Amino acid sequence: MAQTGLRIFLLISILLLDQTISQASKFKARKHSKRRVKEKDDLKTQIDKLWREVNALKEMQALQTVCLRGTKAHKKCYLISEGTKHFHEANEDCIAKGGTLAIPRNSDETNTLRDYGKKSMPRVSEFWLGVNDMVNEGKFVDVNGMALQYFNWDRAQPNGGEA
């Protein structure tokens, strides 16, 4: 009888010890998971910062290059290309020329783009901007994936057609 009681005591002790170790492991796993989420958020923040720096460097490089065929305004060089193209074709054309589709950040830039477009191609009324909502309908980002702070266009656009 004493041996049975001792066995039961040992079994209960082992089960309690196992439960304690299991809970400690779960706590460590939760703590590790929270750290991973924070690290992931920190990486996203760093990537966003790097994109902003890359874009600033692109702008500085473009300004140091003479804007021969386009126009300079707001520390940017704008160039309108002729021909009707889908969004992706227009975007690839800009990249091939060392730029991006225009991304107006305020009303002054929008007005400059509109005036330059009217002057350069008076019969054309639609131009592509470096803005889309392809990933999430209604949530507009620029061609670099950065969220927009300025909106000034027909909400039915862009609609994936040609411009």
Question: Residue by residue, what is the 3-state secondary structure of 92-146?
Answer: HHHHHCCCCCCCCCCHHHHHHHHHHHHHHCCCCCCCCCCEECCCCCCCCEECCCC
Q: How many whole angstroms separate alpha carbon 92 and alpha carbon 30?
A: 45
Q: Which domain holds residue 124?
A: 65-163
Residue 98 is assigned to a structural domain of this protein: yes
Residue 41 is assigned to a structural domain of this protein: no
Residue 21 is assigned to a structural domain of this protein: no
Residue 150 is assigned to a structural domain of this protein: yes
* Structural domains of the chain, count: 1
Q: What is the pLDDT of residue 123?
A: 87
Q: Is the pLDDT of residue 162 over 60?
A: no
Per-range mean pLDDT, top range of 8-22, 40-54, 61-75, 144-158: 40-54
Residue 5 is assigned to a structural domain of this protein: no
Residue 135 is assigned to a structural domain of this protein: yes
Average pLDDT score, the chain = 81
CATH code at position 118:
3.10.100.10
Q: Is the pLDDT of residue 66 over 60?
A: no
Mean pLDDT value of segment 146-160:
74
- Tell me which of 87 and 30 has the higher pLDDT: 87
Residues 4-21: pLDDT tens digits? 766 777 667 787 777 777
Residue 139 is assigned to a structural domain of this protein: yes
Residue 3 is assigned to a structural domain of this protein: no
Mean pLDDT value of segment 35-50:
90
Q: How many whole angstroms separate alpha carbon 66 and alpha carbon 89?
A: 25
